A and B are shown apart, each in its own frame.
Chain A
Amino acid sequence: MSALALSTRNLDKSFGSLVVAKSIEINLPAGERYALIGPNGAGKTTLINLITGMLRPDAGRILLGDEDITTLAPHERVKRGLVRTFQINTLFPQLTALEAVTLAVCERRGEAADWWQNLPSYRDAIEEAYGILVSLRLGDDCERPTHELAYGQQRLLEIALALATKPKVLLLDEPAAGVPHEESGELFEAIANLSQEISVLFIEHDMNIVFRFASRILVMVSGAILVDGTPAEIAADQRVREVYLGSAHHG
């Protein structure tokens, strides 16, 4: 097994008496694609919020590579390569797609505090942003304000913004949420084609997609990791059938 890109050690979090994370142990090796599945309310998004620093854990540690990042501010984690996308579009409505991605590129390059040179003179940053947009097939619409883009394009822009930060570890929170079934495969094709240097942990409800794209699957139930195994192991696991797939049939 290759070196770990991201790992958590005994991560705990509760809101009052509600336990949302119970001794979570995740070990994501470099370059792997892991899926995080579980019924609604299992704590999947909360876990991403904990890992990215938008929530503080009550106990436990988060390691990016060998570095302990448990106490770092969210933007400092991004600087070190730990980046997320959002289940609900969290974009810049009035900025054009090009401006939004250029902004993310400038932040990464440390040029975002420059206040004297005109933006168009940052040619490298703009070209890089444009390249990312083209690779996600947003090139033709990059000069339109974000709020005018089609919903599926906005989902892609979510990913474009994350890629502009040059992530080492990418946490995708239901990247295809709300995208019609036939388009979601396409979207995951784009994710699968990401550089093998990027490690990915993604939340997804569509089991076909999960089994197709994940090298390993973590099943989360009531704030705890129930099982952690290869797709074949998960498919054969009786507990998963009962707890996750069983309840999914009811819901």
Chain B
Amino acid sequence: MPAPSSLVPPQQFLAKQVRWHPLEIVFWIATLLPFYFFPSYLSLASQIAIAALFALSLDLILGYAGIVSLGHAAFFGVGAYAAGLFSKFVWGEPFSGLIVAAVLAGVVGYATSFIIAKFRHLTLIMLTLGIGLLLLEGANSASWLTGGADGLQGIDIWPLFNTFDFDLWGYTAYTYSLIALFVIFVATRRLIHSPFGLSLRGIRENSVRMPAIGAPSEAHIRKVYTISAVMAGIAGALIAQTTSTVSLESLSFERSADVLVMVVLGGAGRLYGGIVGSIIFLVARDQFSGINPQYWLFWIGLLLVLVVMFLPNGILGGLARIKLFQRGKA
């Protein structure tokens, strides 16, 4: 029986999940703090915002659709090289460079998604790893274009709006990266709360049942994989533009592994998990490598072991459980 109000109870229940939580607003306001309190860390903050965007792109396929990738740097690297080469051969205007990088990464993502969508489990992981290695070695051997192991030379990024130079302190870089992260975050948030987002969770929860309710799982996976590649490409382009360097490292296995660690640390499938993970990861690297530059990964390794052993849903998953527990007691 339809209720007289504009919302029936089941709708209200679903609407509640979509609403912005006050903590979310606090978090985004807090992202402005570095401008006032840590101005000497703006470059790091910019790196974190970019890593967070990259982690968000991985979380979309890993946390929502259940696609484990060990080669996500492929799209990051394509974006980075696309933005670098665009500035070298066409012009240095940043926004157009970002769009070119997004499109190119999306094309590579769409092309590989046809393979990705057909497999699961270990086969899938090995495929993502293999595709990542192929692109890395491709860029390495095409040194006439990419500069190979020496990195890409001749990147020239113009000031933002022809006004704001990418300064040494990172004011412009952080502003630019943070706006990009926020805009893409809002779009991703919409996506995961849409019917398509629900379908992705369905694929993650039970890939056998999906075809039995008439869901074209492969088409869904191709779509989300392409979107994720676009986001990763934008992250790569941001790194290229804000640091004016592109090297093979942007395509490396290490970068794929790092972003996976960030998402798992923070908590996969939680939207903010990758962001929290990237903050922890990069702040830890910055602080620990100051103490001992060789062994900082020891601490990340220790943290990773502890988190996956005791907080299987990551740090945010652990916090959510504490909150549920307290509510249960009250």
* Interface residues of A, Cβ cutoff 8 Å to B: 52, 54, 73-75, 78-79, 83-84, 86, 90-95, 98-100, 102-104, 106-108, 111-120, 122-123, 125-127, 129-130, 142-143, 161-162, 164-165
Interface residue from B11, B208, B219 paired with A120 (Cβ < 8 Å): B11
Q: A107-B215, A113-B220, A116-B190 given as contacts; is B14 within 8 A of A90 (CB)?
A: no
Contact B223 A98 (CB under 8 A): no
Q: Quick one: closest B residue to A165, CB to CB?
A: B214
With the chains together, A10 CA to B223 CA distance in Å? 39
A84: chain B residues at CB < 8 Å are 212
Neighbouring A residues of B217 by C-beta, 8 Å:
75
From B7, B206, B215, B223, A91 is in contact (CB under 8 Å) with B206
Tell yes or no: B216 within 8 A of A by CB: yes
- What is the bound-complex CA distance between A117 and B190, given in angstroms? 7
B291 within 8 Å of A (CB atoms): no
Contact indicator B10/A98 (Cβ below 8 Å) = yes
Q: Which residues of the other chain, A, contact B216 by a CB distance below 8 angstroms?
A: 75
Contact indicator B201/A90 (Cβ below 8 Å): no
Contact call A113/B219, Cβ cutoff below 8 A: yes
Cross-chain contact A90 with B212 (CB below 8 angstroms): yes
User: Which B residues from 160 to 211 make CB contacts under 8 A with A?
Assistant: 190-191, 193-199, 201-202, 205-206, 208-211
CA distance A122 to B205 in the complex (A): 22
Choose among A75, A92, A130 the residue that contacts B211 (Cβ–Cβ < 8 A): A75
B213, closest chain A residue (CB): A104
A139, chain B: closest CB distance, angstroms: 9
B15 at the interface (CB under 8 A from A): yes
Could you tell me the distance in whole angstroms from the C-beta of B24 to the nearest C-beta in chain A?
Answer: 15
Residue of B nearest to A130 (CB): B10
Q: Can you list 19 pairs linking A and B with CB atoms under 8 Å apart? A: A74-B212, A75-B210, A83-B214, A91-B209, A92-B206, A93-B205, A95-B198, A103-B195, A103-B199, A107-B213, A107-B215, A111-B195, A116-B194, A118-B18, A119-B197, A120-B18, A123-B11, A127-B8, A127-B10
17 new A-B contacts at CB < 8 Å, known A103-B202, A111-B195: A74-B211, A90-B208, A91-B206, A92-B209, A94-B205, A95-B201, A98-B13, A98-B14, A99-B201, A100-B202, A108-B213, A112-B198, A112-B215, A119-B194, A127-B8, A143-B10, A161-B212
B4 in the interface (beta carbon within 8 A): no
B residues whose Cβ falls under 8 Å from a Cβ of A: 2, 7-8, 10-15, 18, 190-191, 193-199, 201-202, 205-206, 208-217, 219-220, 223
Chain B residue nearest to A83 (CB atoms) is B212
> Given known contacts A90-B206, A90-B212, A118-B190, is B8 in contact with A106 (CB within 8 Å)?
no
A114 with B195: CB separation less than 8 A: yes
Nearest Cβ in chain B — how far from A165, in angstroms?
Answer: 5
Q: Which residues of B contact A100 (CB under 8 A)?
A: 202
> Across the interface, which residues of A come within 8 angstroms of B12, CB to CB?
120
By a CB distance below 8 angstroms, the chain B residues around A162 are 212-213
The listed residue with most B CB atoms (<10 A of its CB), out of A83, A84, A94, A119, is A119
Measured between alpha carbons, how far is A90 from B159 in the docked complex, in Å? 55
Closest 7 CB pairs of A and B: A78-B214, A115-B196, A92-B205, A74-B211, A120-B15, A104-B213, A75-B211
Report A15 CB to chain B, min CB distance, Å: 19
Q: Which residues of A contact B210 (CB under 8 A)?
A: 75
Closest partner residue, chain A, to B202 (CB atom): A103
- Chain A nearest Cβ from B121, distance in angstroms: 17
Bound Cα distance A161, B205 (Å): 14
**Contact present for A104 and B14 (CB under 8 Å):** no
B201:A108 contact, CB within 8 angstroms: no
Q: Is the CB of A117 within 8 A of B194?
A: yes
**Which among A73, A90, A106, A161 has the highest number of chain B CB atoms within 10 Å?**
A106
